[in-house]
C-alpha cells in the first residue's frame, strides 16, 4: 500500500502547473559574442563550409530597401557562390560584406532584444551589423537572415 501511495503522490506532483517542465533559462549574452567571433574568423578566412555552420538554411537575404520580399538562399547555392555573395564588390560606392566585416574589427555592438520568459525565446532576432541572429535551445545561435547590398544578385545565382 505504501508503494501505491508513493506512486499516487508522484503522479499528483506531475499534474501540478509547471511540473515536469524545464525552467526557462535566458542564453548567456557572452555566448553570442563567442559565436560572432568564431563566425568572423571563418568568414575572414574565406572558408564557406565553416561559415555555413553558423547559418540557418534556407538563409533569408533581406533587401536594404523597405517593402522588398526576402529571397531564400539554400545551403548548396550559398556554398557554390560564397565568393560572389561575400567578396564581390558590385559598384565603386559600396563595400562588399567581407570588407564591412574587416572594418568592424570584431568590436561590433551586440544589443539584447526583449526576452519572453513564457515562450522562452527572444521576441526579435539579435542584430550584429547586417546579420540577424536567432537563438534555438537545441542548435544555439544561428544567422537566420542578413541584409545584403546586392540582394537581387540572388536571381542570377539560383538560375
Tell me if 6 is assigned to some domain.
no
Residue 106 domain boundaries: 27-157
Q: Structurally, how many domains does the chain consist of? A: 1
Q: Where on the phi/psi map is residue 155: left (φ > 0), alpha (ψ -120 to 50), or beta?
A: alpha
Four-residue CA torsion sign, 42, 48, 54, 59 = positive
Tell me if 36 is assigned to some domain.
yes
pLDDT tens string, the chain, 159 residues long: the values are: 444 444 434 444 444 445 445 678 888 878 999 999 999 998 888 888 999 999 999 999 898 777 888 889 899 998 998 887 776 655 544 456 666 676 767 777 888 888 888 888 888 899 988 899 999 888 899 999 998 776 666 666 666
The CATH number that applies at residue 50 is 3.10.450
Cα–Cα distances in angstroms (integers) from residue 125 to residues 12, 32, 100, 133, in the given order: 39, 12, 20, 5
pTM above 0.85, yes or no: no
Tell me if 16 is assigned to some domain.
no
Could you read off the pLDDT of 47-79 as tens digits, one per residue?
A: 889 999 999 999 998 987 778 888 898 999 989
Tell me if 5 is assigned to some domain.
no
What pLDDT does 56 receive?
A: 96
Tell me if 1 is assigned to some domain.
no
The answer to whether the CB of 135 falls within 8 A of the CB of 121 is yes
Tell me if 42 is assigned to some domain.
yes
Tell me if 21 is assigned to some domain.
no
Tell me if 112 is assigned to some domain.
yes
Q: What is the 3-state secondary structure (H, E, C) of the chain?
A: CHHHHHHHHHHHHHHCCCCCCCCCCCCCHHHHHHHHHHHHHHHHCCCHHHHHCCEEEEEEEECCCCCCCCEEECHHHHHHCHHHHHCCCCCCCCCCHHHHHHHHCCCCCCCCCCEECCCCEECCCEEECCEEEEEECCCEEEEEEEECCCCCHHHHHCC
Amino acid at each position: 500500500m505504501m508503494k501505491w501511495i508513493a506512486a499516487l503522490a508522484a503522479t499528483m506532483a506531475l499534474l501540478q502547473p509547471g511540473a515536469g517542465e524545464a525552467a526557462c533559462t535566458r542564453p548567456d549574452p557572452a555566448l553570442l559574442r563567442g559565436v560572432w567571433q568564431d563566425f568572423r574568423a571563418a568568414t575572414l578566412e574565406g572558408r564557406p563550409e565553416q561559415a555555413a555552420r553558423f547559418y540557418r538554411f534556407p538563409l533569408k537575404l533581406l533587401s536594404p530597401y523597405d517593402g522588398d520580399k526576402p529571397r531564400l538562399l539554400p545551403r548548396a547555392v550559398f556554398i557554390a557562390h560564397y565568393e560572389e555573395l561575400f567578396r564581390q564588390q558590385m559598384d565603386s560606392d559600396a563595400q562588399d560584406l567581407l570588407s564591412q566585416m574587416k572594418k568592424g574589427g570584431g568590436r561590433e555592438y551586440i544589443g539584447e532584444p526583449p526576452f519572453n520568459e513564457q515562450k522562452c525565446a527572444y521576441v526579435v532576432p539579435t542584430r550584429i551589423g547586417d546579420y540577424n541572429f536567432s537563438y534555438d535551445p537545441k542548435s544555439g545561435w544561428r544567422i537566420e537572415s542578413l541584409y545584403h547590398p546586392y540582394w537581387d544578385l540572388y536571381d542570377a545565382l539560383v538560375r
